[in-house]
Structure 1
Amino acid sequence: MSRRPPPRHAKTSAPGLVTGIYVPRAADAAASAMTTYGVPLLVLATTGSPVLTGLAFALEWLPRLGAFAAAGTLVDRYGAARVFRLAALARAMVVMTAAFVLAASAEGPTGTVTVMVLAAVSGVATECTFIASETAGGAASRLAGGRAHRVQSVLMAIDQTAILAGPAAAGLLLHWRGPVGMLSILAGLSLLGTVLVPRHKTDMAITPAASVAGGLRTGWSTFRSLPALAWLVGGLVLSNFAAGLLQAAMPIIIVTELGRSSTDAGLIWSTAAVASLLAITATRTAIDRWGLWAVGAVAATIAATATLAVSQAHTYNGYLLLIAVLMAGEGGMVVVLRTLRSQLIPADVFGSTLSVTALLLLAPFPAAGLLVAAVPPDHLSHAITGAAILQALGLAMAFTRLRTLPGLRVPARHP
């Protein structure tokens, strides 16, 4: 019986980690961070409406769910490099078009429609590049074997470094150069990603053509067969709802309620990225010493405690400190998730299964945006408290169950 050849993105003939994985990931992560954190600020600056800001956040995330449904199948069929390159190019074109429109008419219905459409379309392209780069990173992690968490920690460090600079850069550019200046830099970063991603001669379809529905069925079946991954994702779904609520509400709280600038709003997430980056570095060593489960449980406790405290904060410095602690815990959990995912998901269905996990993990974000749009600004703290309680309960249940399951009980390696 002949074996079906592995997907192209699992081959070892690609360039090394630095030029083939890390450098393109850095350019895309910077563009993604500016998109995710900058677009809500752009909407608030252009429209002045908290309701439209919440709706824009939902619009930014809702199409991403549909993008994930197709992106995994496309990556498995055509290869990570090709999908990454085309998605980054599409994002650059959309952003440049929006910049031209806003340069001519930033106010009124034209400006409002432009920023809302930008939120939706840029979200789709961003998640396509994410699936492609995550698939390439998963292949690199499998090749690393027992050191997979080290590859994932580097990828996480790249992402968090981008989040460190992205929100602050978006806020500064929006404050000093306006929407056109911010969007011009974002378009440039997207174009840079298309140039940096390696061009492989083998970048072609080698897996049988499959429909999007077929890819999702395959991914869902694989996901259900991995109980450790399913429980971890389940806990993180509730955690992401709390994080998404904070992300959507923060421009309103900081700019509208506290009267601070868009630069101050971006600085919160940049400061949080510093804490997350430090946590990711510590997580790599901690997993070597204590194993995945122990490190994940500690990170979950930190994240849940910080979110509960954020719901009671009323000052800028309080939000700054507590969100930094929250993101440190989130960073540790994501390293655990990515490591487990790269170890458990078979290579030939990695893209499809990754799409399913991403759909589940990102579904709370548009829901959070809609909730922010519906809740009056002076009641946002109550919504955050409820989300924090759900997060704490979900993570407690998940890690209690994971203590008895294989997968996360990877033996610690003592020096």
Structure 2
Amino acid sequence: MPDERPRAWRAGTFLGLRAFSTLGDQLLQFAVPLIVYRATGSMALAGLAFLVEWLPRLTSLPLAGLLADRFGGHRLYAVSDCLRAAACLLTAVALASWPEQAFALTAALMGLCAFLYAQAFIALESTVPQLVPRKDLAKAQSLLQVINDGSGVLGPALGGALLIWLEPVRLLWVSGAAFALSACGLLALRVLGSPAVPSPRPRRGTAGSTAGSIVRDLRTGVRGLAGQPVLLLLIGLAMVVNLMVGLALATAAALTIGHFGLGDAAFATLQTSVGALSVAAFVLMPWLLKRVSVYRIGAVSFAIIILGGALIAVAPSYAVYVLGYGLCVGLCGLFNVFIRVERLHWISPDERGRVISLVVLLNQLTLPLAGLLVALTAAWLPVHVLFLAVTALGGAAYALMVRPLRERAATAA
């Protein structure tokens, strides 16, 4: 039997380097709302910035799936982090020279980084199932979620601490450095040893044949998705969750600083507390997995997320708002573990990149929609009305979709 230790070491290192990348992303998501709201004082522009942040992530997902299948996850991931590092550093220099263009420059930065985030995300999603046995997928996805949520704690905490000495714009330097460390680590990993998963060779051909091949690949992904009712049910639930979470994220800085009249430190504390709640939930994950199914974890976390949105809508004080925000955003990771594990049971391995990219595209379509809703309605509709409407939508989705999903879900056992 071949020695699995080198393969396990490369896989562990690959996942460990993910922490630097997610830390850079969390710092970026922490800094940009502060930069935009401090520069404009507008909730509508804060919502528009959130739209700009998420729309390129979605529109580039099909391309990300094709690139991951064609060129391999390691190469695509490293290139994405290299470009994100360069973008953060160049934007920081530009903001120092033209501070009056803060919204335009940060919007351009978030648009580019959103496109590159999609490439890195799909590269990771398509590689992990090849590194980890099927029986350990739930644990691996939980570890990834812990990395994401741990960065969700460390990112805002680090950002809040640095704000004692630095302006929010300077946080872009720290974010760029984190992306650079991730990219350099991945490149070193390829130099020191062959990758845990062989990278596919790029396909060659004429421009016409390449275009035709792309169309065929997209059709394959659509067929793989349309033929699985369980995937369609998962998408419906994920769209509702992401609409609720998107509203919470798009309005967090404006509500904390504008509506409740608190400062940057309170916003940093809010984000750190949510990340801490997420990590605490995942500390309990091994205990939960021994006692209840992955499906049950997903169903309960969905209900709690909707409850959190309802608390945000009716919050009479900042303390109640923090509780609702924590339940809504902090437990999203538990639901994500269920989604990621369940969908892998229904996707053919040779179509994984193409189908997952389409699934994630549909799942996250409501995130930029949340930003658009805030941008269009901030001037005439109280934001709590939006939360109440989405809460009602979530309750209806739970009633309609959870039972048929329970009857078919592979993770319900």
User: TM > 0.5 between the two?
Assistant: yes
Stretch of structure 1 that moved more, 27-36 or 167-176: 167-176
Aligned to 2:199: 203
Give the whole-Å Cα distance in 2 for the aligned partners of 1:251 and 1:297. 29
Q: Spell out the pairing of 1:361-400 with structure 2 (5 A cutoff).
A: 361-376=363-378, 379-400=382-403
Q: How many residue pairs end up in the alignment?
A: 394
Letter in 1 for 2:402: F
> C-alpha offsets along residues 363-415 of structure 1, whole Å, 9 cap, x if unaligned?
11111111111223670011111111112222332211112114232x2xxxx
2:128 counterpart (137, 141, 146): 137
2:319 counterpart (317, 320, 328): 317
Aligned to 2:3: none
CA separation of 1:112/1:308 partners in 2, compared to 1, >3 Å: closer, same or farther? Answer: closer
Aligned to 1:42: 35
CA contact (8 A) 2:301 2:331 kept: yes
1:212 Cα deviation from its structure 2 partner: 4.2
CA contact (8 A) 1:34 1:167 kept: yes
Aligned to 1:274: 276
Give the whole-Å Cα distance in 1 for the aligned partners of 2:80 and 2:272. 25
Give the whole-Å Cα distance in 2 for the aligned partners of 1:402 and 1:207. 38
Alignment of 1:18 onto 2:42: no
> C-alpha offsets along residues 325-346 of structure 1, whole Å, 9 cap, x if unaligned?
2234322211111111333322
Alignment of 1:98 onto 2:91: yes
Q: Which secondary structure state, in structure 2, belongs to the residue aligned with residue 259 of structure 1?
A: coil
Aligned to 2:346: 344
Give the whole-Å Cα distance in 2 for the aligned partners of 1:238 and 1:39. 25
CA separation of 1:395/1:266 partners in 2, compared to 1, >3 Å: closer, same or farther? Answer: farther
Aligned to 2:207: none
Give the whole-Å Cα distance in 2 for the aligned partners of 1:291 and 1:217. 33
Aligned to 1:84: 77
Stretch of structure 1 that moved more, 201-210 or 98-107: 201-210
Give the whole-Å Cα distance in 2 for the aligned partners of 1:29 and 1:135. 17
> C-alpha offsets along residues 184-237 of structure 1, whole Å, 9 cap, x if unaligned?
001001101101223246434266867544333222221222222221221110
Alignment of 1:260 onto 2:262: yes
Aligned to 1:158: 147
Letter in 1 for 2:336: V
Q: Percent identity?
A: 26
CA separation of 1:207/1:225 partners in 2, compared to 1, >3 Å: closer, same or farther? Answer: farther
CA contact (8 A) 1:402 1:408 kept: no
> C-alpha offsets along residues 279-302 of structure 1, whole Å, 9 cap, x if unaligned?
223234323322122222222222
Letter in 2 for 1:28: S
Q: Which runs of 5+ in 1 are unaligned?
A: 1-11
Give the whole-Å Cα distance in 2 for the aligned partners of 1:367 and 1:37. 20
> C-alpha offsets along residues 104-143 of structure 1, whole Å, 9 cap, x if unaligned?
1212xx3332122112112111222111122222323xx3
Q: Which runs of 5+ in 2 are unaligned?
A: 1-5, 205-209
> C-alpha offsets along residues 34-79 of structure 1, whole Å, 9 cap, x if unaligned?
2234322221123332221111110111111122121110010000
1:52 counterpart (45, 60, 83): 45
CA contact (8 A) 2:68 2:76 kept: yes
Aligned to 1:296: 298
Give the whole-Å Cα distance in 1 for the aligned partners of 2:237 and 2:297. 15
CA contact (8 A) 2:256 2:266 kept: yes
Aligned to 1:192: 181
Give the whole-Å Cα distance in 1 for the aligned partners of 2:363 and 2:169. 32
CA contact (8 A) 1:304 1:326 kept: yes
CA contact (8 A) 2:81 2:180 kept: yes
1:244 Cα deviation from its structure 2 partner: 0.2
Give the whole-Å Cα distance in 1 for the aligned partners of 2:286 and 2:359. 23
> C-alpha offsets along residues 301-327 of structure 1, whole Å, 9 cap, x if unaligned?
222222212211132211212222223
RMSD: 2.2
Q: Which secondary structure state, in structure 2, belongs to the residue aligned with residue 344 of structure 1?
A: coil
